Amino acid sequence: MHIGIIGAGQLGQMLGYAARELGHSCFYLDPSEHPPAAKVGPVIQARFDDRVALTVLADKCDVLTYEFENVPVEALADIADLKPIYPPPEALRHAQDRLAEKQLFESLNIPLPNYVAVDTPEDLQKAIGSIGLPLVLKTRRLGYDGKGQFVLRSAEQFDAAWQALGGRELIAEQWIPFDYEVSAIGVRNIKGETATYCLTQNEHADGILRTSRAPVEDAALARQADRHMQRLLERLDYVGVLTLELFVANGELLANEFAPRVHNSGHWTIEGATTSQFANHILAITGETPGATATSGYAGMVNLIGEIPEAARQDNEGCLHDYGKAPRQGRKLGHITVVAESSEDRDRQISKLVAYVTKSTAE
């Protein structure tokens, strides 16, 4: 099949590699000059809301998907009659607005932190009263990698928080002193067949994902996560891979957000699972049955942000994925996956790689 992918970043690149292995070809649409996925297939260089370019893409392809969350839903609506778009734009609409997203979790009885919508300074004042401090103020739209967020720890920070984020649609959220963070990755195909990966434990710094480890060996948490995932997939009549980010606090899961796409926290599945998240997304949107999601041993992933240190390049235990992007501070340039026979050995390898990354940043 010809698959049209909106967005040609590293996720598009890895989707493209998986699609190629499954015998498909990919076309992309992306506004940037030399996007990572240009290595895998032709890119129409255009804005994500360029109706003409989107129509050209739809004409060239049998099915459309997206790897980027901020594609305007209205632009997709215009081409929805031309070719199937998976995941359904309705899922994207919820994921683009933190308020709609949280209301969706609530309506599915998926536990989440307390929250209120904030549009005015008075709303924020009320939020402090009802939620308490600390709380985190977030823009409802367009946030990623921790951007568009302000943690309010004391009432003195009120003005600073409002200055940083005020004037946009916001949401105030209870600050969760979580034990750790996890993500659940699930897939559903056109026929409604589903599969889920084991839970992945994620570590963030400055709002950016740094490391992932799988599996999380906690059967009770896995059951909770699977229940939440199945409800989300069903409700959204979902097709493709969906990622749910959660906090673990006192043995319970609290939903943070979901992404209607393959996810950085699932990159370990390329080497660490029978079928990668990328292959499963492609299988799902092309009408095939999802492949086995079993984990082989203990997997981990370390993100390479801002630069790829020479020591990380030379490392012979892990598997380096270099997206081919120009180095820039805070930019995800690649990742290294490790797969080990024990969690201890996996953690040793991750610590070694993290030291390379930290040492290089400190220099």
Residues forming contacts to Mg ion in the complex (CB under 5 A) are 245
346 membership: H or E segment, kind and range: helix 343-362
Nearer to ligand ADP, 72 or 146 (CB): 146
Out of 30, 67, 101, 173, point to the residue binding ligand ADP (CB under 6 A).
Answer: 173
CB of 81: closest distance to Mg ion in angstroms?
32
In this chain, which stretch among 83-91, 102-110, 142-150, 314-322 interacts with ligand ADP, using CB under 6 A?
142-150
Out of 73, 176, 190, 320, point to the residue binding ligand ADP (CB under 6 A).
Answer: 176
Nearer to ligand ADP, 113 or 186 (CB): 113
Q: How far apart are the first and last CA of the chain?
A: 48
> Token pair for residue 207?
């709002």
Nearer to ligand ADP, 67 or 315 (CB): 67
Nearer to ligand ADP, 237 or 252 (CB): 252
Nearer to ligand ADP, 121 or 144 (CB): 144
Read off the DSSP letter of residue 152.
E
Out of 145, 288, 322, 347, point to the residue binding ligand ADP (CB under 6 A).
Answer: 145
CB of 245: closest distance to ligand ADP in angstroms?
5
Task: Tell me how crowded residue 212 is: count the other CB atoms within 10 A of its CB.
Answer: 28
What region, left, alpha or beta, does residue 173 occupy, with left being phi > 0 and alpha being psi -120 to 50 degrees? beta
Closest CA to 351 of 309, 317, 302, 304: 302
Q: Which of residues 189-248 bind ligand ADP (CB under 6 A)?
A: 204, 207, 245
Strand 194-196 and strand 135-139: the pairing is unpaired
> Token pair for residue 58?
């739809």
The CB-nearest residue to ligand ADP is: 176
Nearer to Mg ion, 30 or 245 (CB): 245
In this chain, which stretch among 124-132, 172-180, 294-302, 310-318 interacts with ligand ADP, using CB under 6 A?
172-180
Nearer to ligand ADP, 101 or 315 (CB): 101
**Distance between CA 243 and CA 264 in Å, rounded?**
10
Closest CA to 234 of 23, 25, 90: 90
Residues 6+ apart with CB under 8 A from 293: 187, 195, 196, 197, 198, 269, 273, 274, 275, 280
In this chain, which stretch among 6-14, 136-144, 271-279, 314-322 interacts with ligand ADP, using CB under 6 A?
136-144
CB of 241: closest distance to ligand ADP in angstroms?
17
Q: Which of residues 252-281 bind ligand ADP (CB under 6 A)?
A: 256-257
* Residue numbers at the binding site for ligand ADP (CB under 6 A): 113, 136, 143-146, 173-176, 178, 181, 204, 207, 245, 256-257
